[in-house]
Chain A
Amino acid sequence: MTARTSGAQRTRSIVLHLICIGVGALIVVPVWFGVIGGFKDNGQLSTNPLGLPDPWVPENYTDLFASGVFWRQLGNSLLIAVSSTVIVVGAAAMAAFVFARYAFRGREFLVTLFAIGLMFPFAVAILPLFVLLRSMGLLDNPLGVILPQAAFGLPITIIILRQFFRTIPAEVEEAAVLDGCSSFGFFWRVLLPMARPALATVSVLAVVTSWNNFMLPLVVFSDQSWWTLPVGVQAFQGQYADDTARVLAYVVLSMIPALGFYAVAERQLVGGLTGSVKG
């Protein structure tokens, strides 16, 4: 009896593993193809797309490291992601504080206004946004990407932070006020330090969103020196359409920071995504 049960369990577990490995292969094989493809020349790619390179051709990668274009785009992506995140989290935390802990006329209207903002994708606003940015002289200026990204990130950030701020007991604030804290002092010295996990979550979401944004930098930056990685990768593909191996190397390099960030911040990212759909 026990032997049969454990036999059935073993079969079952083997089937489950096979399914998981099959799905995992669908994800890993294209990426693997890219990583090792970058170490081949184009001749090898046509005759031997999946096997190990023979010989290894590191030039595709080393040329990119030496050229400076990749580093420049990496720096631009980083600058824009960090600035957008600081602005959106700062502005959203202040607004969420007021929405969570003050009752005032018009509060629900404002909260609903921001909540409706969840449904405004860039694609809807991109055209008038472009006209607006042009009239403000913010084209080919990183602020032209940073500020709209921060604005579009506000709804989700405010909703998550507000929910978190509401869980901090009123007694904490009363104690702080009795100790002579002003509203701003309470916000800065008590609330924000207590909200560190929630702040980490929304920051990770904001960084990933900014890092992957394509449409806005595409229309804002005509000057190549401001291009971010997604824009750069797409342009590189157009430029070297015949040199598949070189484009693969560029794609792989542009994946590394995102995957590295994922490895470090997976918990915050998943927590943020699963948390945000509940609110």
Chain B
Amino acid sequence: MTRPSTVSDTRRGDTATDPPAPGPGTTRQRGRQPRPGRGGVLAVFLAPALALFLLLVIAPILVAGYASLYKWNGFGLPENFVGLDNYTRAFGDPTFRGDLWRGFVLVLLSLAVQLPAALALAMLLNQPLRGRAAYRLIFFAPYVLSEVTTAVLFTLVFSPNRGLGESVSSWLGADAGAIFADPDTVLFAVFLVVSWKYFGLYMMLFLAARQGIPKELSEAAVTDGATAWQAFRHVTLPLLGPTIRISIFLSVIGTIQLFDMVWVLTGGGPIHTSETMAVTMYQYGFRRFEVGYASAISIVMFLLSLVFALFYQRIVLRRDTAGAITNQGGQR
């Protein structure tokens, strides 16, 4: 980015100084009267957001928690209480256990391939290079396409008879047209399409972070005799730490909820080899009407996200001012 956004700009100054909230709080400190009718103002301004959020975000999570304890087809009220049976069933189900494993593999692939590639490209686009604005624009473009559009496009690109897959196969000498049909390759194929769409996002985050680091730092290292790689490894990379950690976080949370792409590309098949937790949940909830069981899977997804997020915020992000939750806690 040549021009950093106003938001990130002001944000940077903001987190650094962290001023106390202005308004009645500070006025009171100066010994003035609090503003009259304050409670009413608060209620009026908070009501729409709170109502929407409690009714459509919090309540559904609670309902899912409740429904997960019942055997329920989604109609009428749940009556057949089964305790934690849905959860023990899930963890005994090879498909669901496979979902967890496949999620783990996708996260590993992303850490090993997608994020390093995005980082390398960001460093590359940080060099003075003619036309880099155009490259940046193109690399980031897939991010605005919906997962569905991307998935349909790639289904056709690799369609056995009429796609590019045939041509690619003849160059590579391998059967590229069948990567979505072969249980051994389908997960990697899904990963490739996910990376195609999302690497530009990570590249953009790294690029913005890189441009926030003063040039003088790595220049000073080079002046002191460091090679370009040493300057990157020991100066730039540590300073990119917060952004790298946030990217890992986004990647894990994104993988836990991966649905659209898989649903359109493969439907989870062949024989569950590309299925994710969200796809399993959809199958049971909306196709087989086992709403209780599907709710248990939702809750596991939620708990995984929550536990991971809290753990990550405490252990990994503690040093960064970046984490939303730790940030809130440390404010006043």
Contact = CB atoms under 8 A, between A and B. Distances in A.
B188 interface: no
A115 B6 CA distance: 21
A44 B42 CA distance: 65
A208 B144 contact: yes
Given A108-B328, A115-B328, A124-B64, A46 B3 contact: no
A175 interface: no
A214 interface: yes
B327 interface: yes
B21 A166 contact: yes
A170 B23 contact: yes
Given A16-B129, A230-B146, A277 B246 contact: yes
A229 to B, nearest CB: 8
Interface in B199-241: 201, 204-205, 208-209
Nearest to B52: A151
The listed residue with most B CB atoms (<10 A of its CB), out of A33, A103, A160, A163, is A103
A275 B305 contact: no
Contacts of B302: 120, 124
Contacts of A152: 56-57
Interface size class of A (residues with CB under 8 A): 35 or more
Given A91-B49, A127-B285, A234 B138 contact: no
Contacts of B295: 127-128
A102 B38 contact: yes
B156 A251 contact: yes
Contacts of A126: 281-282, 285, 298
A114 B332 CA distance: 18
Contacts of B149: 229-230, 233, 251, 254-255, 258
4 nearest CB pairs, A to B:
A271-B5, A103-B25, A170-B22, A212-B146
Given A212-B144, A278-B15, 10 more contacts: A33-B157, A49-B166, A100-B21, A112-B329, A119-B309, A128-B61, A213-B146, A214-B146, A251-B156, A272-B7
Interface of A: 13, 16-17, 19-20, 23-24, 26-31, 33-34, 37, 42, 45-46, 49-50, 87, 90-92, 94-95, 97-98, 100-104, 108, 110-132, 147-148, 150-152, 154, 158-160, 163-164, 166-167, 169-170, 173, 183-184, 187, 197-198, 201, 208, 211-215, 219, 229-231, 233-234, 237, 244-245, 247-248, 251, 254-255, 258-259, 261-262, 266-275, 277-279
